[in-house]
Amino acid sequence: MLNDSVNLFIETNTDCNATGSATWDCAGHHVTFSMYGPEEAKITDELTHRATVDVTVTPRAGLRTSKEAELEVYLNSLIERLIDVKDFPRCKFIGRLYIVSGQTNDCRTVAAAINAISLSLLVSHIPLRATIAAICHTIQNTMITFAIDVTHPKLFMKKQKTAYSNEPSIFSIYTGQQCQIVGIGGVDKTSDNCDEHPPPVGIPVEKLLQVIQMPTSLHNNNNNNSDESSKKTSYGGDCGGGDPGDGNNIYKQTLNVLDAMVSQIISSSHIY
């Protein structure tokens, strides 16, 4: 599936040997993910009460570094929460992420990886605890990847007269190595400021809470004025736009990503 307005290309079942696989290419951040399993785990790896998950990240060029190892830890944790692993005791899921283009620790590459993982699991028919989609958002010139549970009921409730509770539907957040969430006191100024290890960029927690606040309604007809920058961020691509205080923004963008996933699944389904 190709969307010219945002340079989006999606393809499913790219690996015929995998249980589920998908390719996600958006704005120059191209990844391919394959999921294998469930299969019987080795005695040294098995857990009696749930399945284990092993994700390997292959960079676009060169040898693996600490960046790939960090991303593997993050994706392992994400998939373990996403799959209903308790339904598969003594089993193992193996994931393979190949970065075709883009930097490993770039938030846009991570967003593409999360969307490829979600799409791969959807077409694999593996029982899931949630369906997620990822987008990027900029807070004070710092890009953050949000993985949002698109099955959260608050995203689809129609506007009513009663007040809404701001229950979060954020499934996961990726900030990268050079970013940290800070409180009212701000960033720790004692960090060594050098070229090789610059201090982390601080994001005030109140700004983050404004962004992730659940909107009262996503179906309000008065909020249909999406600008060009919102279109660019819709599919986890060029995510430099958007008002950090606009809580509706990330959820509307995430539903756009969901529409792209559903369209691809429907178009690739065979009718007998």
Can you give the pLDDT at residue 180? 55
Can you give the pLDDT at residue 140? 82
User: Of 111-120, 163-172, 245-254, where does the model show the most confidence?
Assistant: 111-120
What number of H helices and E strands is found in the chain? 5, 11
The token pair at 68 is 């790939």
Answering whether pTM is above 0.85, one says no
* d(C-alpha 173, C-alpha 184), whole Å: 20
- Report pLDDT digits (tens) over 118-174: 999 999 999 999 999 999 998 888 889 999 999 877 776 644 444 544 455 899 999
Backbone angles phi, psi at 252, to 5 degrees: -65, -40
- Report pLDDT digits (tens) over 25-69: 999 999 999 999 999 999 888 899 999 999 999 999 989 999 999
Nearest to 265 by CA among 82, 84, 22, 30: 22
In sequence order, the β-bridge partners of residue 97 are 33, 57
- Report pLDDT digits (tens) over 204-217: 788 888 888 876 65
Can you give the pLDDT at residue 22? 98
Cβ contacts of 147 within 8 Å, gap of 6 or more: 78, 114, 132, 133, 134, 170, 171, 172, 173, 174
Can you give the pLDDT at residue 167? 57
